[in-house]
């Protein structure tokens, strides 16, 4: 009986040892707690780039998607012949500098979605502090481009995420407590800033991934549209069941009440 | 940025005795062990009643006392494991209250009334279990037997509600309702609002099925030990049968478990994309390669056990030449499933690899290939079971030949659908590809259901080629059952780490931050050591409580063919 007992113990310990060994042989990645990044008034571009690289490869979690070539565009290597991100960021959106474009990508990632990719990127200005955000921008600029981020771009104190690189509130198009597009109640500005056309088509513009909104008013009233924005899963348009869950649930919290009302009325008028 | 301010305030507030420390291993490891071992015992005592009550029903309806006695033996294991569950639950509560007092106060502020209900239901569950077990022989026949069976159902009901309540606490930590922020006073949160969070029901369903898998595996390991220690052929035959039943339950439930996991994963993605990406493609991405390896071990070992088992079935030699092909499919499937795809990598690693994916393995690492592999593995395992089931019979119904051809066609059709959508998935967008997995799953499930129905109809009046020679199993088959039990338990620990780890440095995701020195989520190497330690503690304690149970009780097996009518079955002590 002792021989049987020993064999059983041997099997159990051997199996546990095998699994533990394999798990210790693979690359070991620990999820770190965000560290406070303090950058002085005299921070140099080199310091910003070095700090940004650390955030990019670490707490920012950027490498989870960027660089794989499937979930998100390559940033550090060539992306379909356009070069690394520093070389192409200034040409992505008309009238937007590289710095403005990169800030918008982090603050309001659905505002411009590179064709061929899904709008899955989280709002990084909610997860990273301003110094972290700006150091990442400096690092990305350094990848094939020129670093023009300076200490003056970084807010002295934590502010809302709508802070834009231009300092005039015009470039970010982000959403904070004031809502999209700096709190504008112009439905077209809200639609542009929220990136609705990355999936929906409206008045001949946008993509056809999600339902065409050109005649949405004939299918839904303002109340239904309002509800749909606040809770996208509340009703799914026929034929789009497979896309259930793709529309972010956060739009309702990213725009203010006046914007929500303006957008609902605007879309309801599209009979 | 308001979040940063509130977090800073919270950090300041946390400095007032937010955390305690545990000697030698630290607070996190202490809570980890207490929670994990408690959960393992809890899974066992919730899973076993489910099939105990089913076995009892089979005994009642089929008038087969073997099943009734099997159900009683299951319940005896339950009885001794129950107090261990309660003890570890108490240890967990004491550890939380002393090592994480502030967080524990937060949880009690939100969930206090549900904790009282939990305690009350625990009483109900305990006393129902005592009545169920100790009343077994008293309420054995006629009407009282139905009442006894009702107690079994009630036991399951209490257990399920208790689990649902506990699940609400941990799922709230993962996916608190979006309107709850760091500044929300926990006392103002409506209880049902906190309970009915995004992942509550998916976790409930997932755990319900996983408990059955786990309970079956532990029972099979218990039976295999008893088999190896048996002194008589009758005893060996009984425990061989019990081990087979336990393993059958575990593998059957395992086949549907991935679908519940898929639902849970989908809810996590819907709740927070970044959480889902962290889980599947972030720092946890290697975890799924380990999971694939463990699942491969489960499939291979489970099939190996069935194939060895065919050695004790007269007529099974007809099918044994086919097992090498089944093995080939399983091995190829396991290799494909374990192929990494989107691994976390920095720029240097990407450059060293020559691109974002490995030039050859990248094509196998995508979901199309993995879904195809796992569905074919499930089909293969089902085919193994079907061959096992038919081994000692020869159907005599006039349509037997066409029935077999239809069954073969169903297998071919299901495999064809799985392969078609697997290959097609390479040429469509991700959102369309995700939908394909549903067709693949439906094809496999449809095949399993219809082939089983045909097989049951074909088995009517089938010619027997000889009775299964229970007990005629080589010892290596029983060691396979041990490997299954260890692997199931380890897998449970691993998935627990995945579920808990995706919260990263938050006690409650984006609401209550972990500001302790253990806030960073450890790498898989450290986690694996903790998991192995928990599994070892659990299995050691399980062996101990089963041994204790054996001291107090006599075995209740009935020799095959000994269908006594008045409860006079032969009892053989140990």
| pLDDT tens digit sequence for A6-62 | 999 999 999 999 999 999 988 787 877 776 677 777 888 888 999 999 888 877 778
Residue B552 predicted with pLDDT over 80: no
Chain A contact present for B182, CB below 8 A: no
More confident residue, A159 or B4: B4
Does B345 sit within 8 Å of A249, measured CB to CB? no
Which residues are within 8 A (CB) of B456 and not within 5 positions of it... i.e. 6 or more apart? Answer: none
Complete DSSP assignment for B167-192: HHHHHHHHS--TT--TTS-GGGS-HH
State the pLDDT at residue A164: 36
Q: State how far the Cα of B231 lies from the Cα of B229, in Å rounded to an integer.
A: 7
CA B312 from chain center: how many Å?
Answer: 28
Å between B98 CA and nearest CA of chain A: 23
Q: Specify the DSSP element, H or E, that contains B240.
A: helix B233-271
Q: State how far the Cα of B19 lies from the Cα of B31, in Å rounded to an integer.
A: 12
Q: Rounded mean pLDDT of B125-146?
A: 89
Q: State how far the Cα of B42 lies from the Cα of B163, in Å rounded to an integer.
A: 9
Q: Rounded mean pLDDT of B23-40?
A: 95
Closest to A63 (Cβ–Cβ): which among B345, B522, B539? B345
Q: Rounded mean pLDDT of B168-195?
A: 91
- Does residue B55 contact residue B156 with C-beta atoms inside 8 Å? no
- The residue whose two tokens read 């989908």 is B266
Residue B460 predicted with pLDDT over 80: yes
Chain B contact present for A214, CB below 8 A: no
State the pLDDT at residue B346: 58
Å between B245 CA and nearest CA of chain A: 20
Residue B181 predicted with pLDDT over 50: yes
Chain B contact present for A35, CB below 8 A: no
Closest to A26 (Cβ–Cβ): which among B350, B522, B524? B524
Å between A257 CA and nearest CA of chain B: 16
Å between A130 CA and nearest CA of chain B: 8
Which residues are within 8 A (CB) of A7 and not within 5 positions of it... i.e. 6 or more apart? Answer: B475, B479
In three-state secondary structure terms, B246 is: helix
Q: State how far the Cα of B421 lies from the Cα of B335, in Å rounded to an integer.
A: 19
Q: Beta-strand (E) ranges in chain A?
A: 201-202, 205-206
Chain A contact present for B259, CB below 8 A: no
Give B108's Cβ-side CA count (13 Å radius).
10
- Count of Cβ atoms closer than 10 Å to residue B450 Cβ: 15
State the pLDDT at residue B144: 87
User: Which residues in A lie closer than 8 A to residue B2 (C-beta atoms)?
Assistant: 160, 177
- Does residue B302 contact residue B251 with C-beta atoms inside 8 Å? yes
State the pLDDT at residue B2: 42
More confident residue, B423 or A201: B423
A-B C-beta contacts closer than 8 Å: 166
Q: Rounded mean pLDDT of B358-371?
A: 75
ipTM, two decimals: 0.86
In three-state secondary structure terms, A95 is: coil
State the pLDDT at residue B473: 93
Which chain B residue is nearest to residue A30, measuring alpha carbons?
B523
Complete DSSP assignment for A177-226: TTBGGGG---HHHHHHHHTGGGT-EETTEE-SSS---TTGGGT--HHHHH
State the pLDDT at residue B381: 92
Å between B119 CA and nearest CA of chain A: 35
- Does residue A94 contact residue A81 with C-beta atoms inside 8 Å? no
Q: What percent of chain A has pLDDT over 90?
A: 15
Does B479 sit within 8 Å of A8, measured CB to CB? yes
Does A253 sit within 8 Å of B505, measured CB to CB? no
Mutate to test the interface with A, among B1, B297, B368 (most CBs of A within 10 A): B1
Which residues are within 8 A (CB) of B140 and not within 5 positions of it... i.e. 6 or more apart? Answer: B148, B567
CA B308 from chain center: how many Å?
Answer: 24
- Does residue B447 contact residue B379 with C-beta atoms inside 8 Å? yes
Residue A250's nearest CA partner among A222, A236, A267, A229 is A229
CA B523 from chain center: how many Å?
Answer: 24
Does B482 sit within 8 Å of A8, measured CB to CB? yes
- Phi and psi at residue A114, to the nearest 5°: -60, 130
**Looking at beta carbons, which pairs linking A239-242 to residues 24 or more positions away fall under 8 Å?**
A240/A210, A240/A211, A242/B431, A242/B432, A242/B434, A242/B435
State the pLDDT at residue A167: 33
Mutate to test the interface with A, among B283, B498, B546 (most CBs of A within 10 A): B283
Which chain A residue is nearest to residue B275, measuring alpha carbons?
A122
The structure tokens listed for B253 are 């439930």
Residue B163 predicted with pLDDT over 60: yes
Least confident of A255-264, B1-10, B231-240, B420-429: B1-10
User: Which residues in B lie closer than 8 A to residue A64 (C-beta atoms)?
Assistant: 277-278, 281-282, 344
Does A34 sit within 8 Å of B277, measured CB to CB? no
pLDDT interval class at B341 (50, 70, 90) = low
CA angle B329, B333, B337 (to 5 degrees): 175
Which residues are within 8 A (CB) of B506 and not within 5 positions of it... i.e. 6 or more apart? Answer: B512, B513, B514
Where along chain A do the CATH 1.10.760.10 domains lie? 45-153, 180-268
112-151 in chain A: CB under 8 A from chain B: 118, 120-122, 125-127, 129-130
Cα separations (Å) of B503 from A192, B31, B109, B341? 32, 16, 21, 23
User: Which residues in A lie closer than 8 A to residue B475 (C-beta atoms)?
Assistant: 4, 7
- Does residue B212 contact residue B49 with C-beta atoms inside 8 Å? no
Residue B572 predicted with pLDDT over 50: no
Could you read off the pLDDT of B346-356 as tens digits, one per residue? 556 666 666 65
More confident residue, B434 or B92: B92
Which residues are within 8 A (CB) of A259 and not within 5 positions of it... i.e. 6 or more apart? Answer: A179, A180, A183, A184, A185, A190
State the pLDDT at residue B354: 61
Residue B47 predicted with pLDDT over 50: yes
The structure tokens listed for B86 are 């309660």
Q: State how far the Cα of A10 lies from the Cα of A2, in Å rounded to an integer.
A: 12
Domain ranges for chain B: 314-342+363-467
User: Which residues in B lie closer than 8 A to residue A69 (C-beta atoms)?
Assistant: 355-357
Cα separations (Å) of B525 from A30, B19, B287? 10, 25, 10
The CATH number of A45-153 is: 1.10.760.10
- The residue whose two tokens read 């065919």 is B310
Does A68 sit within 8 Å of B229, measured CB to CB? no
- Count of Cβ atoms closer than 10 Å to residue B396 Cβ: 12
Does A61 sit within 8 Å of B342, measured CB to CB? no
At the fourth CATH level, which superfamily is domain A180-268?
Cytochrome c-like domain (1.10.760.10)
Q: State how far the Cα of B407 lies from the Cα of B450, in Å rounded to an integer.
A: 8
Residue B574 predicted with pLDDT over 50: no
Residue B459 predicted with pLDDT over 50: yes
User: Which residues in B lie closer than 8 A to residue A247 (C-beta atoms)?
Assistant: none
Chain A contact present for B294, CB below 8 A: yes
Q: Rounded mean pLDDT of B177-196?
A: 90
Chain A contact present for B283, CB below 8 A: yes
Whether this prediction's pTM lies above 0.95 is answered by: no
Q: Beta-strand (E) ranges in B240-398?
A: 393-394
The structure tokens listed for B106 are 């937060």
Does A158 sit within 8 Å of B4, measured CB to CB? yes
Farthest CA pair distance, chain A: 83
- The residue whose two tokens read 């051809």 is B405
The structure tokens listed for B434 are 């995700």
The structure tokens listed for B439 are 């067709």
State the pLDDT at residue A17: 96
User: Which residues in B lie closer than 8 A to residue A249 (C-beta atoms)?
Assistant: 178, 270
Mean pLDDT across chain A: 78
Complete DSSP assignment for B55-66: HHHHHHHHT-HH
User: Which residues in B lie closer than 8 A to residue A34 (C-beta atoms)?
Assistant: 505
Chain A contact present for B544, CB below 8 A: no
The structure tokens listed for A254 are 């990213």
Least confident of A144-148, A177-181, B310-314, B457-461: A177-181
Q: State how far the Cα of B246 lies from the Cα of B48, in Å rounded to an integer.
A: 10
- Phi and psi at residue A201, to the nearest 5°: -105, 140
Mutate to test the interface with A, among B8, B28, B347, B480 (most CBs of A within 10 A): B347
Which chain A residue is nearest to residue B438, measuring alpha carbons?
A242
**Looking at beta carbons, which pairs linking B190-195 to residues 24 or more positions away fall under 8 Å?**
B191/B110, B191/B111, B191/B113, B191/B114, B194/B110, B194/B111, B194/B168, B195/B111, B195/B114, B195/B165, B195/B168
**Pairing assessment for the beta strands B463-464 and B393-394 based on DSSP bridges:** antiparallel
Which chain B residue is nearest to residue A65, measuring alpha carbons?
B281
């Amino acid at each position: 009986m002792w021989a049987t007992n020993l064999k059983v113990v041997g099997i159990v310990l051997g199996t546990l040892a095998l699994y533990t060994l394999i798990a210790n042989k693979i690359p070991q990645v620990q999820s770190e707690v965000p560290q406070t990044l303090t950058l002085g008034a005299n921070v140099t571009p080199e310091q910003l780039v070095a700090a940004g690289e650390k955030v990019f490869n670490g707490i920012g979690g950027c490498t989870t998607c960027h660089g794989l070539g499937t979930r998100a565009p390559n940033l550090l290597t060539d992306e379909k012949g356009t070069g690394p991100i520093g070389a192409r960021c200034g040409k992505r959106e008309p009238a937007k500098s590289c710095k403005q474009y990169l800030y918008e990508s982090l603050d309001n990632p659905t505002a411009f979605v590179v064709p061929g990719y899904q709008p899955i990127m989280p709002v990084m200005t909610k997860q990273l502090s301003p110094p972290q955000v700006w150091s990442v921008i400096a690092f990305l600029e350094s990848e094939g481009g020129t670093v023009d981020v300076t200490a003056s771009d970084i807010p002295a104190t934590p502010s809302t995420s709508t802070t834009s690189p231009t300092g005039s509130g015009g470039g970010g198009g982000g959403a904070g407590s004031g809502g999209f597009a700096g709190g504008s109640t112009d439905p077209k500005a809200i639609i542009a800033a929220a990136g609705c056309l990355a999936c929906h088509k409206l008045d001949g513009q946008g993509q056809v991934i999600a339902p065409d909104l050109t005649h949405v008013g004939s299918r839904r009233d303002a109340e239904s549209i309002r509800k749909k924005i606040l809770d996208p899963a509340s009703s799914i348009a026929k034929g789009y069941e497979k896309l259930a869950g793709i529309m972010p649930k956060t739009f309702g919290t990213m725009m203010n009440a006046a914007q929500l009302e303006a957008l609902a009325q605007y879309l309801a008028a599209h009979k | 940025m308001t979040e940063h301010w509130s977090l800073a305030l919270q950090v300041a507030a946390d400095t007032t005795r937010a955390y305690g420390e545990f000697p030698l291993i630290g607070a996190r490891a202490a809570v980890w062990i207490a929670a994990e071992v408690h959960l393992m015992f809890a899974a066992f005592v919730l899973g076993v009643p489910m099939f105990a009550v089913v076995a009892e029903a089979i005994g009642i309806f089929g008038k087969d006392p073997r099943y009734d006695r099997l159900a009683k033996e299951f319940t005896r294991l339950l009885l001794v494991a129950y107090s261990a569950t309660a003890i570890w639950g108490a240890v967990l509560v004491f550890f939380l209250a002393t090592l994480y007092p502030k967080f524990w106060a937060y949880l009690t502020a939100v969930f206090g009334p549900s904790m009282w209900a939990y305690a009350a239901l625990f009483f109900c569950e305990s006393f129902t279990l005592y009545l169920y077990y100790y009343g077994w022989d008293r309420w054995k026949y006629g009407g009282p037997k139905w009442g006894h069976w009702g107690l079994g159902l009630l036991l399951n009901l209490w257990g399920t509600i208790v689990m649902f309540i506990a699940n609400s606490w941990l799922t709230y930590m993962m996916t608190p309702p979006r309107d709850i922020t760091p500044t929300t006073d926990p006392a103002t949160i409506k209880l049902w609002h906190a309970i009915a969070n995004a992942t509550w029901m998916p976790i409930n369903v997932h755990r319900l099925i996983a408990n059955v898998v786990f309970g079956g595996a532990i029972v099979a390991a218990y039976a295999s030990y008893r088999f190896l220690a048996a002194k008589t052929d009758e005893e060996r035959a009984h425990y061989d049968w019990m081990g087979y039943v336990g393993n059958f339950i575990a593998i059957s439930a395992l086949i549907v478990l991935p679908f519940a996991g898929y639902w849970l994963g989908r809810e996590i993605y819907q709740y927070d994309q970044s959480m889902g990406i962290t889980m599947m493609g972030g720092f946890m991405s290697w975890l799924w390669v380990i999971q694939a390896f463990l699942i491969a071990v489960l499939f291979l070992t489970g099939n190996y056990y069935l194939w060895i088992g065919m050695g004790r079935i007269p007529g099974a030699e007809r099918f044994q030449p086919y097992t090498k092909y089944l093995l080939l499919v399983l091995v190829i499937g396991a290799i494909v499933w374990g192929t990494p795809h989107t691994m976390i990598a920095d720029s240097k690693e990407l450059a060293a690899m020559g691109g974002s994916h490995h030039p050859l393995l990248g094509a196998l690492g995508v979901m199309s290939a993995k879904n195809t592999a796992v569905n074919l593995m499930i089909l293969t395992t089902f085919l193994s079971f079907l061959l096992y089931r038919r081994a000692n019979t020869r159907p005599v119904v006039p349509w037997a030949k066409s029935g077999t051809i239809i069954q073969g066609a169903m297998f071919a059709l299901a495999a064809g659908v799985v392969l078609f959508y697997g290959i097609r998935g390479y040429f469509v967008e991700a959102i369309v590809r995700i939908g394909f997995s549903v067709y693949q799953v439906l094809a496999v499930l449809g095949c399993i259901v219809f082939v089983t129905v045909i097989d049951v109809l074909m088995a009517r009046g089938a010619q027997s080629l000889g009775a299964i020679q229970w007990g005629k199993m080589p010892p290596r088959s029983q060691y396979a059952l041990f490997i299954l039990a260890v692997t199931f338990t380890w897998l449970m620990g691993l998935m627990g780490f995945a579920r808990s780890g995706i919260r990263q440095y938050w006690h409650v995701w984006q609401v209550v931050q972990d500001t302790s020195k253990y806030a960073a989520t450890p790498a898989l190497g450290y986690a694996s050591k903790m998991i192995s330690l928990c599994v070892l503690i659990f299995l050691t304690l399980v062996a101990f409580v089963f041994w204790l149970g054996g001291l107090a009780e006599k075995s209740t097996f009935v020799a095959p063919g000994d269908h006594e009518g008045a409860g006079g079955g032969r009892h053989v002590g140990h």
